[in-house]
């Protein structure tokens, strides 16, 4: 590869690393070219970029982007999934496609902002419900004490109403 081409790749990788919110590193050993192309297309539909990278160029790009912490995860043939908006998009899209296509890819780890994540933490993120579901659960948890207070305050009134209705029925018969 020409030196200029390598520099261009390093610059593009460094830019992607700098502007991404989530980076997922996969080991693609055993995957065919057709499987990798299908995976790229599937991830692109989810707004995720997926690049196969030479380890040496990746190390240079990590150094240039100031994210050398993740270099400890580089082992074997590496491909990176970059997510820019939704933090969970690359993780969920990758795991969904790996399961559905039965790919031999292994999640090596990743980086969420400045934090390095191991493979188990990445899988934990993949199993999280969507943001909308989490917000709905949070709102439900916030409403629960108010509903309980409402039930406690209304309970004496409901008992009184029940007693008065049963008394009216007795008098009416």
33-73 per-position pLDDT tens digit? 899 999 999 999 888 999 999 999 999 999 999 888 888 88
Beta bridge partners of 111: 23, 116
Reduce the DSSP state of residue 22 to 3 states and report it: strand
**pTM for the model:** 0.73
Rounded to whole angstroms, the Cα distance separating 131 from 101 reads: 25
Give residue 1's pLDDT: 63
Average pLDDT of the residues in 111-129: 89
pLDDT of residue 25: 93
For the chain, the distance separating the N- and C-terminal CA atoms, rounded to the nearest angstrom, is 100
Q: State yes or no: pLDDT of 173 exceeds 70.
A: no
Collapsing DSSP to helix, strand or coil, 110 comes out as strand
- How much is the mean pLDDT over the chain? 89
Contact 61, 134 (CB under 8 A): no
Instruction: Answer for the pair 82, 51: CB distance below 8 angstroms, yes or no.
Output: yes
How much is the pLDDT for 26? 93
Per 3-state DSSP, what percentage of the chain is helix, strand, and coil (rounded to 5)?
Answer: 65, 15, 20
d(CA 27, CA 153): 59
111: how many CB neighbours lie within 10 A of its CB? 22
CA distances from 158 to 149, 151, 167 (A): 14, 10, 14
**What pLDDT does 136 receive?**
92
What fold does the segment set 3-128 form as a domain?
A: Alpha-Beta Plaits (3.30.70)
Going from N- to C-terminal start, the domains of the chain cover 3-128, 129-173
For 113-159, give the DSSP string: TTEEEEHHHHHHHHTSPPHHHHHHHHHHHHHHHHHHHHHHHHHHHHH
Are the C-beta atoms of 61 and 14 separated by less than 8 Å?
yes
Instruction: Give the pLDDT confidence of 83-107 residue by residue, as tens digits.
Output: 988 888 889 889 888 888 788 888 8
- Report pLDDT for 128: 86
């Amino acid at each position: 590869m020409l030196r200029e081409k390598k520099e261009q790749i390093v610059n593009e990788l460094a830019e992607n690393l700098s502007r991404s919110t989530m980076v997922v590193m996969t080991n693609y050993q055993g995957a065919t070219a057709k499987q990798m192309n299908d995976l790229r297309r599937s991830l692109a539909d989810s707004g995720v970029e997926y690049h196969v990278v030479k380890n040496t160029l990746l190390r240079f790009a990590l150094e240039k982007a100031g994210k050398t912490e993740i270099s400890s995860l580089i082992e074997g043939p590496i491909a990176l999934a970059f997510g820019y908006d939704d933090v969970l998009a690359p993780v969920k899209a990758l795991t969904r496609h790996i399961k559905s296509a039965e790919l031999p890819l292994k999640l090596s780890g990743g980086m969420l902002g400045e934090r390095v994540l191991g493979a188990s933490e990445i899988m934990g993120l993949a199993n999280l419900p969507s943001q909308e579901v989490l917000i709905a659960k949070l709102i439900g948890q916030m409403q629960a004490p108010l509903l309980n207070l409402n039930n406690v305050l209304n309970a004496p009134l409901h008992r009184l109403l029940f007693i008065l209705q049963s008394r009216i029925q007795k008098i009416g018969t």
